[in-house]
Amino acid sequence: MVQMTYREALRQALFDAMTEDDTIFILGEEVGRYGGAYGVTKGLIDDFGEDRVLDTPISEAAIIGAAVGAAMSGMRPVAELMYVDFIGMTMDQLGNQAAKIRYMFGGQTGVPMVLRTQGGTGRSAGAQHSQSLEAYIMHTPGLRLVMPATVADAYHLLRQSLRQPDPVVFIEHKGLYTLKEEVDLDADEVPWGQAVVRRQGEHVVLVAYSRQVHHAMAAADTLMESGVKATVIDVRSLNPLDFKTIQTEVERVGRVAVISEGVMTAGVGAELAARISEECFDYLHDPVIRIAGEDIPISVSAALEAGSVPEPGMIVDTVRRLLE
């Protein structure tokens, strides 16, 4: 067991993978000498050199375009976008090319690349640097989508992502980089795309991912004080989606709230809620509740920013209303 931060776990995953596989290389803005916007790639250029840790021009389209071409040519690029907010500038390369190459070429070639990026709120970065755009990715067939909530998952899921035959978008919540936990680097890896039940109870199921898993766990602690026992599911991967774990717990309990930092309208929460309603309808005691971000641009004001996305108190209040 090694104690490390979320940031250090990501760096260790990259170091270990690059040591084992010399086809893996990193490219992005300021990923080399500067060490990345959040310090994840710090020092890797000293270990692997400028040929494998490439500082690129400020062009998101060029970064992803180069990664797609390299992946099709036998390499395993790890492309970093400084913020998920910039992903719209890459959607031709990512959505029209990387996601569709295997289909368009009849399975003869794929795009084994990882796009690392950062999303979410918590740093007063303003409306253009604080969004949760995972629904963009989840909506696009051909793209895998991973959003780890724990330090252990940051390490193991990135290692797994770097072995996939198709493009993986790996979104790290910017509010988790300093999270510190003990990690077993040699632990057996869970099956790709498998969710995990972080806590089990019999009154309500809370389905969450990324930083909202921690908010759900904190809410569950508060609810326990009044005798309400909540199950907390960490989805971990939105594509592939382990719906079987969600279905099993929802059918056992009968009440569920889906929690997402993304906006309410047409978001991940809406998709999960719709599917639960369709496939678990006969077991539900009440309608599925969505707890999600406001349909507004994120304010640079710390107070307004915090109030625009779910937090433990909001989850507690919503669950209590659901159980009334």
Q: What is the pLDDT of residues 122-181, one digit of tens each?
A: 999 999 999 999 999 999 999 999 999 999 999 999 999 999 999 999 999 999 999 999
Rg of the chain, C-alpha, whole Å? 19
Encoded tokens for 198: 């972080």
Burial class (CB in 10 A: 0-12, 13-18, 19+), 16: middle
What count of other Cβ atoms lies within 10 Å of the Cβ of residue 184? 11
Q: Does domain 2-183 have CATH number 3.40.605.10?
A: no
Distances, alpha carbon 233 to alpha carbons 130, 148, 249, 257, in Å: 24, 12, 9, 11
Query: H or E stretch including 48?
Result: helix 44-48
| Two tokens, residue 2 | 């090694």
Specify the pTM.
0.97
Residue with tokens 């290389």: 25
Q: What is the band of 2 on the pLDDT scale with cuts at 50, 70, 90? A: very high
Q: Quote the tokens at residue 32.
A: 């080399």
**Residue at 64: amino acid letter:** I
* Domain span(s) for CATH 3.40.50.970 in the chain: 2-183
> CATH 3.40.50.920 spans which residues of the chain?
196-323
CB 181: neighbour CB atoms within 10 A? Answer: 16
Per-residue pLDDT, 45: 98
**CATH architecture for residues 196-323:** 3-Layer(aba) Sandwich (3.40)
Active site residue ranges: 60, 129
Output the pLDDT for position 189.
Answer: 87
β-sheet bridge partners, residue 27: 54, 79
pLDDT per position as a tens digit, 261-316 = 999 999 999 999 999 999 999 999 999 999 999 999 999 999 999 999 999 999 99
DSSP line for 212-267: HHHHHHHHHHHHHTTT--EEEEE--EEETB-HHHHHHHHHHH--EEEEEEEESTTS
Instruction: Return d(Cα 86, Cα 62) in angstroms, integer.
Output: 12
